[in-house]
Structure 1
């Protein structure tokens, strides 16, 4: 038994992500000064085993400071240390508060390829810069933009377009103008509202038109907004307008489409789109005001 150690009776495994690197981490230990390159421009990994040493045995993610170790020298990341109830997942001794400063120093000498190398990113980064880059890498996969149900599918834009068409049965249209009709027999039932999504192919890119009902405070509202299937910088090259109305009155919205990097909920909750109050929506519907009949028209254009 390690000096002062005690055997734990329970180990809880976790699939947590790596913690953010703390640039103020201690480094007052003996260090390895040689530079070890684990990946190059073509992703050729070293066989020296250092890369494997930096993988957390619980979550299998790369470890960033603070890297912890038990009295027997077994290491794990900071996130997992909090989840295994201070019990080493390898030997089951109490972890205590021991930092593996030597391994942290070794990590400073490493260079690694981006994890999205197979998707097109061929850059190589110092170990402690890699995580920050990957959080914003333009090659990282996108989340499925479909709303109204949980969907865990990720991929590049062509993959998601095919997924929306084949799996979610989303309507696909070519052109930069649209005429969207929404009909609902009982506009009071917001909990049963249909989340509608249409994908437009325009200027060789894809845009998602969302239309839905949701509760805004105590009021029921309808909202239409556009998202761009790509990154934010490219989304800013486009603008769009939406219009709804009847009986000599209309509402008009003009804005910039949001990237699908922003979640559907984030865009909706920011109210960045055309919002139609229920009473106004019923007025536009005409008739006995008991059935919702809205027609939303719009267009997309590219800013010069």
Structure 2
């Protein structure tokens, strides 16, 4: 893949505060579109509607615990107006201390009865429609959902802080159609990265390529950023799936020139780990600027790096001793070689 330059991509997606009329319109049954969501329209819907499998009594209590403004489940402190209408503490400031239902001034009244009732309620995980079978006490459910193995994945595209979430097929389609990411099939690759002025390094320079290999998808990142006061280039691979499954695969990256080369071998990190987390842990091939310019040859005024790589599937441990099984397997322990 020839690139004339590595461009900086950034945006400032954010949720703007809704004004009083917009929030009140929601209470009258109007539909309010979130501001700043951008291309998140293809993400799967995970609303906080009443979970399936509840008794009528439990379903009624669950509906009472739904905030009328943000529609999320309410947790202490739960506020109420003088007429008994409730809302969550987060939305109390969003509606400028006025009840979104009756428009009366909100005081500092807490609905202690509803908070107490919630303690006795047990609900299924909100990802039960995606396969999670767990049931939790009301106040323990959120902690589980934050790390539930069935929760949807965030978009792995790093350049725009994309808000889209979904399962892997949805995200692959989204990356191809909305982010125009290069898609490749195969377990080996050979990419050429070019930058006309390698001394201009910014923290928001990202490249992304997706590979379909062994029936799974992998994301190859290449970027430039400051490590202390020195600019560096980094390449690393992420697995589009959970962490346990990512350990079944290994990969290598190699870059070189002028009879020198650097090789990195490791295990791809799951996209559960954010792009920034992987980058800041330095879990990948890191190339110092001087070495990158040395590899580029010429007058050292232009970056021309060729990164090659391979993805493999690890063999079961009991087969590693046999010649036939280990022929295509490389140990996954991360290492950095300079030869």
Match of 1:92 among 104, 108, 117: 104
Which of residues 259, 264, 267 in structure 1 aligns to 2:270?
Answer: 259
User: Paired residue for 2:136?
Assistant: 125
Candidates 51, 55, 64, aligned match of 2:66? 55
In 2, the alpha carbon distance for the partners of 1:61 and 1:257 equals 35
Q: Which residue of 2 aligns with 1:216?
A: 227
- 1:148 aligned onto 2:159: yes
Query: Does the 8 A contact of 2:80 with 2:106 survive in 1?
Result: no
How many residues get paired?
A: 271
Q: Determine if the alignment matches structure 1 residue 279 to structure 2 residue 290.
A: yes
Change (3 A) 1:258 1:11: same
How far did 1:228 drift?
A: 0.7
Q: Distance in 2 between matches of 1:48 and 1:138?
A: 25
* Secondary structure in 2 matching 1:55: coil
**Structure 1, residues 212-241: CA drift from partner, whole Å, max 9, x if none?**
112223222111011110112222232222
Whole-angstrom distance in 2 between the partners of 1:109 and 1:162: 42
Q: Is the 8 A contact 1:88 1:95 kept in 2?
A: no
1:165 to 162, 176, 194: 176
Aligned to 2:187: 176
Contact 1:200 1:206 (8 Å CA) reproduced: yes
Cα displacement (A) at 1:284: 0.3
Root-mean-square deviation (Å):
2.9
**Which residue of 240, 246, 249 corresponds with 1:238?**
249
Secondary structure in 2 matching 1:252: strand
Structure-1-length-normalised TM-score: 0.78
Evaluate the alpha carbon distance shift between residue 44 and residue 260 of structure 1 in structure 2; reply closer, same or farther with a 3 A threshold: farther
Any conservation in 2 of the 1:224–1:273 contact (CA below 8 Å)? yes
Secondary structure of 2:263's counterpart equals: strand
Cα shift at 1:85: 5.6
The DSSP-based 3-state class of the residue aligned with 2:287 is: strand
The higher relative CO (CA closer than 8 Å, separation ≥ 6) is in 2
Instruction: Say if 2:203 and 2:225, in contact at 8 Å, map to a contact too.
Output: no
Work out whether residues 39 and 111 of structure 1, in 8 Å CA contact, stay in contact via their aligned partners in 2.
no
Which structure 2 segments of 5+ residues have no match?
A: 1-18, 25-31, 33-49, 317-339
SS in 2 for 1:138: coil
Q: Distance in 2 between matches of 1:45 and 1:180?
A: 58
